[in-house]
Amino acid sequence: MDAQTIRTTKGRGRLYDSILDTVGDTPVVRINHLAPPGVRVYVKAEFFNPAASVKDRLALNIIEAAERAGTLLPGQTVVEATSGNTGIGLAMVCAQKGYPLVVTMADSFSVERRRLMRMLGAKVILTPRAQKGTGMYMKAVELAEKHGWFLARQFETSANADIHEATTAREIIADFAGDRLDYVVTGYGTGGTVTGIARVLRRERPETKIILSEPANAPLVGSGVAQERMTGGGPAVSHPSFQPHPIQGWTPDFIPQVLQEAIDAGGYDELIPVAGTDGVAWAKKLAQREGILTGISGGASFAVAMGIAETAAPGTVILAMLPDTGERYLSTPLFSDIPEDMDAAELELSLSTPGYQLG
């Protein structure tokens, strides 16, 4: 845009009946300063969803698919195990639709997530971190069976990948229509994003390589060890290759049933592990060099995308998924070196004029 041109807006051309109608249609944004010369790198900014993460999509579809099927009754309590983003999305949906929500979550996840869910009206039941993701999962199952609640089953339900097939993938196809798209990079939490995208891209953009990533110190898919499952597809035990990692929202301590479709059907071309420290580092670079505030999971996807970009041929086009916002990580390592008070340089600037001074 010319420096003399004043930006204008025109509105969206419609009035929304509820906050739920604003889910999806998130923007694809070009990386201008960090991408190497000759390579176009883009990010799909899922924090533009109303509750600020990609999980708004599946939360909405889980509830509406259950309403259509008659398996969720008016006023029935919804319960789900979550690392945070699905719970926040469900809390938004349930608040708007009038369903009580109970979330089970390991106490290792960031406190801002549980506070956001409670702000939206949900009850949050914490489980011991030593029990990992399977612990919070089993607690949700127990509560559903005990009280007759609707269990959302984000890790197994077909409603998960279906919404990414119907929306996320269609948005990518439309945004890159008539243009190259050589790589799409994503991690996995439930596996819904990669599974849904693969269904469409394999058919309509077969030249696009789908890159899946997981934490380097928790290579569940990379281990080749099958997940033990209960009837219905839920995890029977914690996967033996799991280790705690800082990429919240990615890779629980089991391989989700939703992801299994992509594994079995060849829904990705390459599996690239990434260190949690790289996710933190690249999330900071995105914020400080591009003005894009994403979480550690987004930083991890972007780290993998940048690794591909560094050796890619001129003209290559890469898209990385950014699942959520950096504001969801204020109490995590992402912000551990971001001070609350003035540092030396800021204090020096403050003292450089005779105006109001602290202290």
Give domain status of residue 218, yes or no.
yes
In a domain, 128, yes or no: yes
| Residue 55 appears among annotated catalytic residues | yes
Question: Which of these, 177, 216, 221, lies nearest to 200 by C-alpha position?
Answer: 177
Alpha-carbon gap, residue 159 to 266, rounded angstroms = 20
Q: Residue 315 has what pLDDT?
A: 98
User: Using an 8 Å Cβ cutoff, are 123 and 101 in contact?
Assistant: yes
pLDDT given for residue 354 in this prediction:
87
Question: Does residue 278 sit within a domain?
Answer: yes
Residue 34 has a pLDDT of 98
Which pLDDT value is given to residue 110? 83
Per DSSP, the residues of 205-255 read -TTSEEEEEEETT--HHHH-PPPPB-TTS-BSS--TT----S-TTS--SS-
Pair 186, 256 in one domain: yes
Least Cα distance to 194 among 275, 296, 269 occurs for: 269
Q: 90 and 185, same structural domain?
A: no
- Any domain includes 262: yes
CA angle 92, 297, 170 (to 5 degrees): 65
Whole domain around residue 35: which residue ranges?
19-50+169-335
Tokens of 138: 């089993």
Q: Tell me which DSSP letter residue 122 carries.
A: -
Please tell me whether residues 33 and 75 are part of one structural domain: no
Q: Is residue 162 part of a domain?
A: no
Do 216 and 262 reside in the same domain of the chain?
yes
**How many domains is the chain partitioned into structurally?**
2
pLDDT at 218: 97
Active-site choice (44, 55, 139, 285): 55
Q: What is the pLDDT of residue 2?
A: 66
pLDDT in tens, the chain (359 residues): 666 789 999 999 999 999 999 999 999 999 999 999 999 999 999 999 999 999 999 999 999 999 999 999 999 999 999 988 999 999 999 999 999 999 999 998 889 999 999 999 999 999 999 998 899 999 999 999 999 999 999 999 999 999 999 999 999 999 999 999 999 999 999 999 999 999 999 999 999 999 999 999 999 999 999 999 999 899 999 999 999 999 998 999 999 999 999 999 999 999 999 999 999 999 999 999 999 999 999 999 999 999 999 999 999 999 999 999 999 999 999 999 999 999 999 999 999 998 877 66
Q: How far apart are CA 247 and CA 274, in angstroms?
A: 10
Verify that 202 and 326 share a domain, yes or no: yes
CATH number for 201:
3.40.50.1100
Q: Pick the closest to residue 254 from 81, 100, 122, 27 (CA basis).
A: 81
In the set 53, 83, 213, 297, the catalytic residue is 297
70 lies in some domain: yes
**Is 18 a catalytic site residue?**
no
Measure the CA–CA gap between 212 and 275, rounded to whole angstroms. Answer: 14
pLDDT at 83: 84
Q: Are 41 and 69 in a shared domain?
A: no
- Residue 4: the pLDDT is 78
Whether residue 104 is contained in a domain is answered as yes
